[in-house]
Amino acid sequence: MKRTTTTRRTFLGTTAAIGAMGLMPGWPTAGFAQGGGTLRLRIDGDNNVLDPGYMVGGTEVEAQKQCLPFLAEYVQEGGTFTWRPTYYVTKLEQRDPTHIDFELTDGLMWSNGYGMLKASDVKFSFERMKESDWSGYFDALDHVEVTGDLTGTIVLNKPFAPFQMVTLCHGPGAIVCEQAVKDAGGTFTVDFPAICGPYTYKATPGQRAVFELNPEWTGPAPGFERVECNVITEVKAAELAYDAGELDCTELGSDTLARYIKEMPADTAVTTAGELQYMWMGMNTEHPKLQDIRVRRAIQHAVDVDTILAGAYSGTTTKSHGIICPGLLGQRHESGYSYDPAKARALLDEAGVSGLELTLRTLNNQERMLAAQIIQANLAAVGITVKVLPVDSGPFWEMGQESKGDTWQELEMWIMRFGTTPDPYEATQWFVSSQVGIWNWERWTDEEYDRLYNEGIAETDEGKRREIYLRMQEIMENTGAYVWINHEPESYAHHDTITINAAPSGELNYRRFSKA
């Protein structure tokens, strides 16, 4: 059901090096790498499956945004993320908790002779998603009722407050051409069978994806005639490419972001899309060494998160107090515990524990390893010996999954980061009781948490929803199984002569880039 964030997590956590493209560091030259008509960007890998139902969930979403219709899109208002209808609709209204009426813009055409974009395409696309790898986003969908060529109603089987934000704005909400997909055999991979957007798409595996103006597009013109997205899997290599003037925009790692903040390169601006990552150190509540909640609470008090933020992330990340990210309903601004080594030692004494030895597993990258080493030193100061075990991406994401082997039985502590969409529902779903052995690696269950999860989905009153998600995070923290660490930003360096557009989760939307 939940391939979405599973694979998005993998994208957020993985860095596969390809070298530095033969580039030498240096400040970028003024102007665009290819002149005003072409924009040069970076993608972190090939788009092997463009089909919204079976994609991985990384840069494929960026391609879909340029070539396929969406009913809604993200916007930010006063520091809070919300949504608005796109150009593709003249009406998108929630009539009641289970009915959303829409009317498509007239005259928008599919490529390859497939005719006009119709409400039947919306019906086909959304109902098809219920049987796809991303079906979890459509659990609340009952069906789409077509009332005319351009009009219809999305009918939900239950109130689902985040449907617009989580489903319609994100990649699973892409609309495909019914007849074109059927003619392609029911699914597609590296080519769109039909497009309805400002750009065409063509890719050279291992090198780049190119977007050029769609001659059949009658909607708003994009800011650039051509977009070249170069495959550069390593963030550091992309930073070098930007410094050498070979890219007009790239994602930044935390250390480079800190350097840019301190001394901004010439002709450069930095834009932060959002902070929709949440990182924590987790503990296995079922492991014999960690079954005593006093031991877990001692560890919470022993870890100096402020030192992690300064030492591993150069002060560029927001301190976390839970799983709800900045800008989202229900974000916490303080934790129920504090850095207090004396209290940690007292709790260990109360539990009768001494000479404790634990293993801390982490993805093998620079920031996580630095964070792990700081935690190692913190716990040594209260008498706990920690072995840091770096793990490559593939086996890391399988550690706590019972279906992947027996590693979950020996898990003790780990550093984890999940990515999310701009609604609190998305983050909370991974810790319900049914997720034990899948993504709830801490392996606790709580009836109140499960009940609140279902209430939060159906609740439309913002104040009540906020209280629900605040309480859910309090329940998580009270297990003693979490040390909240940070929310990493999705930050981009770009020429100050362009304005970029990105979803809060970081996906770039090239069609909404403009010349400043």
Domain boundaries, the chain: 1-51+200-273+490-516, 69-196, 277-487
- Which of 262, 275, 266 lies closest to 323, judged by CA? 275
Q: What residues pair up with 145 in beta bridges, in sequence order?
A: 153
Task: Average the pLDDT over 229-257 and give the result.
Answer: 92
Rg from Cα positions in the chain: 24
Give the integer Cα–Cα distance in Å for 355 and 455: 44
* Residue 494 confidence (pLDDT) above 80: yes
DSSP run (H or E) holding 413: strand 413-419
User: What contacts 409, CB < 8 A, 6 or more positions away?
Assistant: none
| Confidence category of residue 67, pLDDT binned at 50, 70, 90 | very high
| Predicted pLDDT of residue 254 | 85
| Predicted pLDDT of residue 109 | 98
- Which of 191, 189, 229, 226 lies closest to 208, judged by CA? 229
pLDDT in tens, 89-132: 999 999 999 999 999 999 999 999 999 999 999 999 999 999 99
Q: What residues pair up with 268 in beta bridges, in sequence order?
A: 495
| Confidence category of residue 213, pLDDT binned at 50, 70, 90 | very high
Give the integer Cα–Cα distance in Å for 317 and 375: 17
* Residue 462 confidence (pLDDT) above 70: yes
pTM: 0.76
DSSP run (H or E) holding 90: strand 89-96
Q: 3-state DSSP helix/strand/coil percent for the chain, to nearest 5? A: 30, 25, 45
Instruction: Determine whether domain 69-196 maps to CATH 1.20.120.1200.
Output: no
* Residue 488 confidence (pLDDT) above 60: yes
* Residue 171 confidence (pLDDT) above 90: no
Quick one: fold of 1-51+200-273+490-516? D-Maltodextrin-Binding Protein; domain 2 (3.40.190)
| Confidence category of residue 77, pLDDT binned at 50, 70, 90 | confident
Helix, coil or strand: residue 345: helix
List the CATH code of the domain at 277-487: 3.10.105.10
Q: What residues pair up with 270 in beta bridges, in sequence order?
A: 493
Residue identified by tokens 């250390």 is 255
Q: Are 160 and 140 in contact (CB under 8 A)?
A: yes
296 exposure class (CB count in 10 Å sphere: 0-12, 13-18, 19+): buried
* Residue 5 confidence (pLDDT) above 80: no
Q: Which residue has the higher pLDDT, 197 or 75?
A: 197
Query: What sign results for the dihedral spanned by CA atoms 205, 208, 209, 213?
Result: negative
| Predicted pLDDT of residue 178 | 98
The one-letter code for the residue type at 162 is: P
Written as six digits, the tokens of 109 are 């055409």
| Confidence category of residue 25, pLDDT binned at 50, 70, 90 | very low
| Confidence category of residue 17, pLDDT binned at 50, 70, 90 | very low
| Predicted pLDDT of residue 393 | 80
| Confidence category of residue 28, pLDDT binned at 50, 70, 90 | very low
* CATH fold match for the domains 69-196 and 277-487: no
Q: Which residue has the higher pLDDT, 481 or 367?
A: 481
Q: In whole numbers, what is the pLDDT of the chain averaged over residues?
A: 90
| Confidence category of residue 250, pLDDT binned at 50, 70, 90 | very high
pLDDT in tens, 391-424: 988 899 899 999 999 999 999 999 999 988 888 9
| Predicted pLDDT of residue 233 | 83
The b/e string for 238-260 (b: 16+ C-beta within 10 A; e otherwise) is: bbbbbbbbbbbbbbbbbbbbebb
| Predicted pLDDT of residue 255 | 86
% of the chain at pLDDT higher than 70: 93
Count of positions (residues) in the chain: 516
